[in-house]
Structure 1
Amino acid sequence: MTVGFVAFHYPTPEHFEEFVGRTHQVADFLQSKPGCLSAECWATTDGGAVVTTGRFESQDTFQAAFAAAVELGPVVGFDEREHRPREVYTLLSR
């Protein structure tokens, strides 16, 4: 079963472009991991949110990729550049 995620990030306006760069860094990292089928970064048309998406071959490859992401350090953590908590959803193909 394919596993995916969608995450909504809410950077402050002054950190929006920097945050987009951070999400691309994470997406590139995830794409280098075994079992990652895709990882992408999007932005809402109003500039209010950065949306990241990804697909993995299995639950195991999904978990392994995110466990490895800790090596990216603070790039993957919530911090003061976001004005509200992220919304992250894990998805299963049907």
Structure 2
Amino acid sequence: MSFGFVAFHYPRPDYAEEFTDRVHKACEFVASRPGALSAECWVTTEGGVVVTTGRFETEQALRAAFSAARDAGVIVDADEREHRPREFFTLLSR
């Protein structure tokens, strides 16, 4: 069994490229943490939504990766470059 996440980010159009670059860096950081299997950044074909996905060996590894990313300032709970709150879901493989 593995644990994952998917997050939907809604950057303001004038910050889309800057925001996407920041999210790519966050995915690289998270993917480098112990127990991480993957972390990726996607952009919808329309370009309005940035989607991040990831997979971890354990729930503890997922939580530790995000805790480390927050502590390092790589991710923040809210970003003024987003025009609506992001949606974050923790996933469990079955």
Task: State the TM bucket, normalised to the shorter chain.
Answer: over 0.9
Between the two proteins, the alignment pairs up a number of residues equal to 94
Residue in 1 aligned with 2:35? 35
Cα 1:84/1:77, change in 2 over 3 Å = same
Displacement of 1:72 after TM fit? 3.0
Give TM-score scaled by structure 1 length: 0.94
Aligned partners of 1:26 and 1:76 also within 8 Å? no
| CA shift digits 1:14-35 (9 cap, x unpaired) | 0000011011110110111010
- 2:79 aligned with 1:54: no
Please state which structure has a larger fraction of its residues in helix: 1
Give TM-score scaled by structure 2 length: 0.94
Distance 2:75 2:18 in 1: 11
Where structure 1 has 5 or more consecutive residues not aligned to the other structure, the ranges are none
Where structure 2 has 5 or more consecutive residues not aligned to the other structure, the ranges are none
What is the letter of the counterpart of residue 63 of structure 1? R
- Percent of aligned positions with the same letter in both sequences? 62
Residue in 2 aligned with 1:89? 89
Residue in 2 aligned with 1:80? 80
Displacement of 1:77 after TM fit? 3.2
Q: What do you get for the CA RMSD once the two structures are aligned?
A: 1.2
What is the letter of the counterpart of residue 26 of structure 2? V
Residue in 1 aligned with 2:24? 24
Q: Which runs of 4+ in 1 moved over 6 A?
A: none
